[in-house]
Amino acid sequence: MGTSWIIEGTVDPRWPINTRGNVGEVFPEVLTPLSYRLGVIAAEKAWRDAYAELGVTRANDFSGDNPVIIGLYGGYAYLNLSYLRILGVRAPGSSAEAIDIAFFGEGDPPPYEPRKGDRSLLSSLRILRSVLGALSTRSMPPMVSDSFAKAEAHRACCPSLNAPDAELIAHLHAFPKAFGPVFHNHMLSSGLASIVTGMLADACVAAGEPGLVTHLIGSAGDVKSAEYSRDLYAIARTVRNQPSLGAAFDIGVDGLLDRITGNQEAADFRKQFAAFTAAHGHRGPNDWELSSRNWENTPELALVAIDRMRLADHDLDPATRLASDDARRAAAVDVVRPHVKGLDRRNFDKALLAAPWWAQAREATRDRAIYLGAPTKRVYRELVRRAAERGGDPDPTRVALLDPIDELPSYLVDPASFAGTLAERGALYDRYTAVEPRFFITGQHEVPTIEELESDHASLTRSKPVQPGDVLTGASGCQGVARGRARVVMDPADAVDLEPGEVLVAPITDPAWTPLFLPSAAVIVEVGALMSHAVIVSRELGIPCVVSVENATERIPDGALVEVDGTAGTVTVLEY
């Protein structure tokens, strides 16, 4: 039979194609029972409700409540490509292929095959109404303020960390009910952002210039994912101008906050960094995972970015890089607009004005969903700490392998009784972490056991390094051309060798990577698409970016001189 992960979903035969595309950015690691039971199940319901509000979902689309859109197979999170394509199938003027381009952009997915029940005139009419409303947007959509209010209300209910175990457990278990409505807002804004952006992409295809979509979209302005970089850069400039602070950073980021004490410069830095943590400390790598690190509980993640920025001998302010953004957009409009006729031209003009608002809304609602969960992470880590004092495991990720509802309360009472369970599950977690998940799963018969994944891994042939003169092709992320030495970084906490002006080469990026974009000349990412995190942030920071470059971290030698063409979506290796 083989060994399966602790919790496994069941592939819905009605919607059989599942992919790691896109979700690999937000859930890059093995998914724990803690996050599945408290987060994913609530997110699934919220996503369905959001699509129902948009007009996408029909009553008979799903046969039950078990997660389908967000699946857990072979230890990793998957998105249901079959169902997400339905947004394109049922949206007027869109297509399944448009959804692939917007959200996935890589992996050569199985082609869409029409089936009875996919199309729905009623759904198309309801989606059309939603889209017409979205195209008329000229200010921040109301779901953003609603997410801010709901997140603040839930945080206000967080008990003191001195409260009894029972109160902390109650707050932990209250997370799904609070999280669902805010995630609903995120999926609502994401769906509308994808449709509005898709109109611009379709117009560029019609004009024979698909790469110009990055010029048309350009910088949206006040995007949360880019705000973190700007705020950290302000701190980096403070460090650069204060020799005593620079000397402390020169020693390394481990123990840095303990070393920066004793004078006014130190006090000012600590105040500035505390303000950053208060505003943005909820973000970090793998930040939908409730047991994960963030900038609050692991400040070294942010300190590494400050360290890299403070070494730059030139201005990293995005405003400098974005100075020609409006001119590029206007030039792209002049090229594309003549190819769009009639009502499509009118919608194209509206989409140009609406797209920035929906880009901001998508990132803001995502940010608030993570913000809402920060106290839950804090409470969870306090419970882990208390249990460790009673002989339990101090590792939050290991304890997250227990079911948070059926097992965690008993573990807190008697941690020793779960020692064998945690050891067994921890060993299984390590095995799953050591392998690569399959990129596509197209039915229940393809959900792999760990033995099958290990066999896949053992037979995997590593990609050969490219040679000088070779050109790698990906997808356009952000316009512009830049040259620099490639710096391969697999974890944002390990970016201590990234020098200003180098090209960041990463497997995936999430908000924890964002501050590393600013000192980089360009960004290359193995996965991604038009709506992916790397693309959105690089546009806001004005940094050339190419995504969906297959096996880039293996094929591009660390230190190689490369040229990144963000408009063409190419990476040229110039020399080693």
Lowest average pLDDT, out of 54-63, 184-193, 247-256, 488-497, goes to 488-497
Q: What is the pLDDT of residues 249-270, one digit of tens each?
A: 999 999 999 999 888 999 999 9
CA distance 69 to 85: 11
Do 498 and 516 form a contact (C-beta atoms < 8 A)?
yes
DSSP reduced 3-state for 321: helix
| Mean predicted lDDT score pLDDT of the chain | 91
CA-wise closest residue to 479 among 352, 570, 386 = 570
Task: Find the mean pLDDT for residues 451-464.
Answer: 89
CA distance 526 to 142: 34
The answer, yes or no, to whether residue 378 has pLDDT greater than 60, is: yes
The answer, yes or no, to whether residue 511 has pLDDT greater than 80, is: no
Per DSSP bridges, beta strands 561-565 and 481-488 are: antiparallel
CA distance 367 to 182: 10
Cα angle 558, 283, 83; round to 5: 85
**The pLDDT value given to residue 221:** 64
Per-residue tokens: 356: 């920035």
The answer, yes or no, to whether residue 108 has pLDDT greater than 80, is: no
Q: What is the pLDDT of residues 183-224, one digit of tens each?
A: 999 999 999 988 888 888 889 988 998 878 878 887 666 677
Do 516 and 505 form a contact (C-beta atoms < 8 A)?
no
Task: Find the mean pLDDT for residues 152-168.
Answer: 96
CA distance 145 to 556: 43
The answer, yes or no, to whether residue 21 has pLDDT greater than 60, is: yes
CA-wise closest residue to 384 among 32, 93, 77 = 32
> The domain 471-575 belongs to what CATH superfamily?
Phosphohistidine domain (3.50.30.10)
